[in-house]
Amino acid sequence: PLTKPDGFDEAILPTKRQHFVQMVVESGISDSRDFNSLMTPQGKAASFIAYIDANNGLSKELPQVIDNSDNFKGWMDRYVLMVLYHSTGGPSRWTNNSNFGNKDVPTCQWYGVQCTDGVVTGLDMSNNGLVGMLPHQEMTYLKVSNMDVSSNMALRGDLSLACESLQRGDDNTAFLWKADSCDDMAAANMVQCDCCAC
């Protein structure tokens, strides 16, 4: 369960959460049905942002409009990573979850998050005990050039959408480490896959 931080304002924070959820839905990052319960990964992530994480160093306030600013992208990246965390057993099953969900630590210092100039550019969650289903819709929002989720044998999901979202490098390559089959994360033989082949 979420704990209420000092200075918790019952009247203001639900409004902050509602506004944040509205931006997430309008941006197409998550579906409105994902917020029917506070216990869904999306519900937990949105509550984390509104109730606990509202002063995480990205800015003093949550963004008020959907735009292409670094501030907006920073908040949305943080939300998507928290959805991944709650979807794949982060609180209890990950081998290493250092700094994940720590409101006092910048996103770029969370375990496995790779950044360039403060922008999330990669994710290395290989051999980290991820279980369950990858949050496909949310993962397509992360604009990274590589994502490694190999050697997580209890991880499931079709990564073709994540493949499509990977940003191409100067040589037009983008790599996703995953199972042999683009739709079978349970495969035992993990290999590097050029996303163009997905």
Give pLDDT tens digits for 68-108: 888 788 889 999 999 999 999 999 999 999 999 888 888 99
Q: How many CB atoms lie within 10 A of CB 104?
A: 10
| Whether the predicted pLDDT of 45 surpasses 50 | yes
In the numeric block, the tokens 């079709």 are attached to: 158
Backbone angles phi, psi at 196, to 5 degrees: -60, -25
What predicted TM-score, i.e. pTM, was given to this entire model? 0.77
pLDDT over 80 at 24, yes or no? yes
Residues whose CB falls within 8 Å of the CB of residue 173, separated by 6 or more in sequence, listed in order: 194
To 5 degrees, how large is the angle CA 40–CA 42–CA 105?
120
The tokens for 155 are 């991880």
Look at residue 185 and tell me whether its pLDDT is greater than 60: no
Mean pLDDT for 140-156 is: 79
- Cβ atoms of 151 and 127 closer than 8 Å: yes
Confidence of residue 6 (pLDDT cuts 50, 70, 90): very low
Contact status, residue 90 vs residue 101, Cβ threshold 8 Å: yes
